[in-house]
Chains A and B, each alone.
Chain A
Amino acid sequence: MDFLRPASWEEALAAKAEHPTAVPIAGGTDVMVEINFDHRRPGHLLDLTRIGDLYDWERGERSVRLGASVPYTRIMSELRADLPGLALAAHTVASPQIRNRGGVGGNLGTASPAGDAHPALLAAGAEVEVASAARGTRMIPIDAFYTGVKRNALEPDELIRAVHVRRADGPQQFSKVGTRNAMVIAVCAFGLALHPETRTVRTGIGSAAPTPVRAAAAEEFLAAALEEGGHWESGKTVPPSVARQFAQLCSGACNPIDDVRGTASYRRHAVGVMARRTLMWTWESYRGARRTTEGAA
């Protein structure tokens, strides 16, 4: 095994071009587990921890360009206002020790359907910035990024540089089912973002299909129901029948399996419950932000 230690992004891309099977390692919270358990013996490890750019984020007009290696701990403390859904999801990642090392680039690279960042990225709206020495930079929409169980749209010579996440224009929530608060791989997870500017809602479902997915039919239904009822203007409560239908459509977007963490039918059910709850939470804060005089429902 060779340990490659590029000092710059250009060196890293050159190394990845020369050794397309090299495994990138940053926080190591996935890669080292596989090596420790002898599940993986890559010919080359490509250490990205010397590349300072990957640990920076910058706030643009519409989105935050989040360096691939910015640890979850910093997402929680520095980006809660701009990326509330992702900050909430980051807080549910494993433990402080893991959050100090792991970042969204690794979550995207591993592309596990259970990765905690995915539902939040899908709900907020995001593009993944990837690059290769040969072809330069390209942007992959998050909806096109996940291609299969632990598969993504990266070419062998490409590395993830950053993810551009839309800054929140409304309330966002994240919910996750597990046996305790810390050190939990999601049984299933759900992210919801209200987008009052465009009067749309977006969802993200984790761990309940071969890839992280959006519940497109549920999003369309809810946006139409909120529009028809004049809810965006009035801020009045979402009728229970609408919440119920939204939850059912979210359950319907799942394509889960039975495994050690939960059964398919439990996951489908739990996603519906989380969809209904996150809708209530986000809608209540939308109402609150509009300073309606009514109390919470």
Chain B
Amino acid sequence: MRVTFTVNGRPQEADDVWEGESLLYVLRERLGLPGSKNACEQGECGSCTVRLDGVPVCSCLVAAGQAEGREIVTVEGLAEHARERARAAAPRTSDTTGASDPSGSGPGASGTAGTPLDAARAWRAHGADPHTGDGTELAPVQQAFIDAGAVQCGFCTPGLLVAADEMLERNPNPSDADIREALSGNLCRCTGYEKIMDAVRLAAARQGEAV
């Protein structure tokens, strides 16, 4: 069957999709978007987390046909998603705060704007890896993962980024308990949870500074 849906803001069409196929398989194998990882295929690990009409879900448990007409955001679209969000929020925040500088809302500025934490500056990774950014600005949460050293083997990272970004969208000021709960469906087997917590706290702090 054919499945037509929107992925990262672009209309997509997948043909010859088997009826029992998962959204994850379609993303990875038919649309060439391997960012969402395939690990457990039973919703246990969260590596395949994507946004489905805005809601974080395990794409391995969504039947491809259920995505028909829906909007998907994968880790590949996370930076653009974050930029759009910042753009949409910018006029509102300047309305309420009056004095805030709107220049930070320009294209490409959101990833680097608001990094005043001294510790965070010390953590900043050096050099651009052509495989991570492809020359585009990262989402704040992605940059925070790099800066906090929250990436080890990297397999769980895409799912964690999507889940963490969604939580920060809903809850800009999360407690540690909020972060743990939001990420409780994402397994990291390198035992890197403390750095991951650091990264999400850092992203939240930068987000708070930017507003």
Contact = CB atoms under 8 A, between A and B. Distances in A.
A32 B22 contact: yes
B68 interface: yes
Nearest to A71: B55
Contacts of B55: 100
Interface in A38-67: 41, 45, 47, 49
A96 B61 contact: no
A181 interface: yes
Given A25-B66, A49-B66, A37 B61 contact: no
B46 interface: yes
A35 B68 contact: no
B184 A95 contact: yes
Interface residues of A, number: 28
B72 interface: no
Interface string B165-184: 00000000000000001101
Contact of A3 (B19, B41, B44, B182): B19
A5 interface: yes
Contact of B42 (A36, A47, A101): A36
Contacts, number: 89
B66 A1 contact: no
Interface in A1-54: 1-3, 5, 25, 27-29, 31-33, 35-37, 41, 45, 47, 49
A32 B62 contact: yes
A5 B43 CA distance: 23
B185 A96 contact: yes
Contacts of A31: 63
Interface string B27-71: 000000000000001111010010000011110111101101000
B154 to A, nearest CB: 20
Given A25-B66, A32-B62, A100-B56, A2 B41 contact: no
B168 to A, nearest CB: 14
A100 B57 contact: yes
Contacts of A98: 43, 58, 61, 185
Given A96-B56, A100-B57, A33 B43 contact: yes
A97 B56 CA distance: 6
A47 B185 contact: no
A29 B19 contact: no
A174 to B, nearest CB: 17
A182 interface: yes
Interface in B89-141: none
A35 B18 CA distance: 12
B153 interface: no
A183 interface: yes
A191 B58 CA distance: 28
B65 A47 contact: yes
Nearest 3 Cβ contacts at the A-B interface: A95-B185, A182-B184, A1-B19
29 contacts: A1-B18, A3-B63, A25-B63, A28-B63, A28-B66, A29-B58, A32-B22, A32-B61, A33-B41, A33-B42, A33-B61, A35-B20, A35-B63, A36-B22, A45-B63, A45-B65, A49-B66, A94-B43, A94-B185, A95-B186, A96-B181, A96-B184, A96-B185, A97-B43, A100-B55, A101-B57, A182-B181, A182-B184, A183-B185
Given A3-B1, A35-B63, 4 more contacts: A1-B18, A33-B41, A33-B61, A182-B181
Interface of B: 1, 18-20, 22, 41-44, 46, 49, 55-58, 60-63, 65-66, 68, 163, 181-182, 184-187
Interface of A: 1-3, 5, 25, 27-29, 31-33, 35-37, 41, 45, 47, 49, 94-98, 100-101, 181-183
